[in-house]
Amino acid sequence: MSGVVADESHGQRVLFVERSEYLAAVTALYEAGFTMCVDLTAVDYLAHESRVVPDGVVTQRFEVVVNLLSIANRERVRLRVQVGDGESVASLFDVHPSTEAMEREVFDMFGVRFDGHPDLTRILMPEDWDGHPLRKDYAQGRIPVQFKGAAS
């Protein structure tokens, strides 16, 4: 299949899939027995652009990470999809309904949009929240801690 680069990470199977081939690859894997999508998450690589990827993979800011499980073969495979800032990816909802909440979480936390998701609303943050908290450029609030007796 074009647009797919196979790799291995600590003995685990990893596939780098192009954004345009993502849904087709997941569907093909579904046909091959990977019937359960156990996890879907994302990473914002804004602060770590020099990460190591196999040849032929063009890195983008975001990476959608999908963990698929084949119960029949007791096998796992992980998909890593490069997604640029402002770009959207296809929703897996029609293949794996379990991704409904997970894609909402990724949208909520990273602002990555999923085309074809039936209900792409925030899930953990309030509806009127500004920004996406797990983005690396999202300001992290801090409360200064004054230790007792500290010299000022």
Q: Residues interacting with other proteins, by CB under 8 A?
A: 9-10, 12, 35-39, 41, 43-44, 47-48, 51-52, 65, 67, 71, 74, 76, 78, 93, 96-98, 100-102, 105, 109, 118-119, 121-129, 133-134, 140
Sequential DSSP letters for 64-79? EEEEEEETTTTEEEEE
Q: How far is the CB of 2 from other proteins (least distance, A)?
A: 24
| Shortest Å distance, C-beta 52 to other proteins | 6
* Nearest CB to other proteins, comparing residues 47 and 145: 47
Q: Taking a C-beta distance cutoff of 8 angstroms, is the pair 35, 28 a contact?
A: no
Tokens of 49: 């652009």
Identify how many contiguous H helices and E strands the chain contains and give both numbers. 2, 7
Strands (E), the chain: 4-9, 12-17, 36-44, 62-70, 75-83, 88-90, 113-115
Q: Which two tokens stand for residue 141?
A: 């609030």
Query: Nearest approach, Cβ of 33 to other proteins (angstroms)?
Result: 11
Least distance in Å: CB of 4 to other proteins? 18
If the CB atoms of residues 1 and 101 are measured against other proteins, the closer one turns out to be 101
Q: How far apart are CA 142 and CA 102, in angstroms?
A: 28
Whichever of 140 and 146 has its CB closer to other proteins, that residue is 140
Q: How far is the CB of 43 from other proteins (least distance, A)?
A: 5
Tell me whether residue 1 or residue 38 sits nearer to other proteins (CB atom): 38
